[in-house]
Amino acid sequence: MTEQELTDKVVASFGAAKDERFREVMQALVRHAHAFVRETRLTDDEWGAAIEFLTAAGHITTDTRQEFVLLSDVLGISMLTVAVSEPSLGDPGLADSTESTVLGPFFVQDAPGIELGGDIAGGASGEPSWVSGRVTDTDGNPVPGARLEVWEADDDGMYDVQYDDGELAGRAHLFTDAEGRYRFWGLTPTPYPIPDDGPVGRLLDLAGRSPMRAPHLHFMVTAPGFRRLITHIFVAGDAILDSDSVFGVKESLVRPFHRHEAGTPTPDGRQPAGPWTSTAFDIVLRKE
């Protein structure tokens, strides 16, 4: 068979699949993967190295570390999937709704709940930060009872699940009030490297790329009748906003974190021992 005849035969082998979407995806995957092999004239040794790389990614993956998500992130596939999954720019209301970005590999189900104004740190180290805002629909109406999942790294650049003690910290969930408002204490985000001690780290090293992520705070916002929102807020003025290792920064998600000296009154009367920051992030959800 010629190269193209082989591709055609493999594509046709999925033709009897009962699920139409499965058939469409697999046939497209075969066409593009075969085109990659032909374009690069892939050698046997290179094919073997790719298999070894994927095997290593599988071996290092655990319940708390997803190397394949990291791979998707650093190749820009995660952000591209976010982009194509968003409604088109011509859809009414999109310009007014909050933009999405990557989920990342460190989300955990069933994070502890806190009351409005509570603290998500849970013992994680870092500078306190007061985060507040309002959740509305695209018409400006409040969304009461919206669930916010928030999570972030500590000031050592580590998420709770990267430690061995099994303790949850730097994450929580809370609900908006009747006016759609929310508020909580978190930590001022700091830059950190994605886990780079595995195959994805070696890939970045070979590419001469940094593993550093721009400082950010994760949000997942859900409410009945609305599209789920997965997003971050990023720290304005940070030096690596333009070189985020997973391409996750969007201009609309960059927020100033205002600095306050020790002793400056806080919105809730708390008395931090040292400096603290504050930021506001209003969230606009798009209806289903």
Name the pTM for this structure: 0.90
**Interacting residues of 214 by C-beta distance below 8 A, sequence separation 6+:** 191, 234, 235, 238, 240, 241, 243, 244, 248, 249
Question: CB of 194 within 8 A of CB of 70?
Answer: yes
> For the chain, where are the alpha helices, taking DSSP H only?
3-12, 20-40, 44-60, 67-74, 77-85, 199-207
Residue 126 to residue 274: CA distance in whole angstroms: 11
Domains of the chain, by residue range, sit at: 3-74, 88-285
Residue 81 to residue 79: CA distance in whole angstroms: 5
Question: Tell me, which fold does domain 88-285 have in CATH?
Answer: Protocatechuate 3,4-Dioxygenase, subunit A (2.60.130)
Question: pLDDT at position 90, please?
Answer: 57
* DSSP 8-state secondary structure symbol assigned to residue 242: G
By DSSP bridging, strand 212-213 and strand 171-175 are: unpaired
Tens-digit pLDDT string for the chain (288 aa): 899 999 999 999 999 999 999 999 999 999 999 999 999 999 999 999 999 999 999 999 988 889 999 999 999 999 999 988 876 555 665 658 999 999 988 899 989 999 999 999 999 999 999 999 999 999 999 999 999 999 999 999 999 999 988 889 999 999 999 999 999 999 999 999 999 999 999 999 999 999 999 999 999 999 999 999 999 999 999 999 999 999 999 999 999 999 999 999 999 999 899 999 999 999 999 998
Question: pLDDT at position 229, please?
Answer: 96
C-alpha dihedral over 235, 236, 238, 240, to 10 degrees? 90
**Strand, coil or helix: 276:** strand
Spatial CA neighbour of 169 closest among 150, 148, 188: 150
Q: In degrees rounded to 5, what are phi and psi of residue 140?
A: 90, 5
Question: pLDDT at position 127, please?
Answer: 97
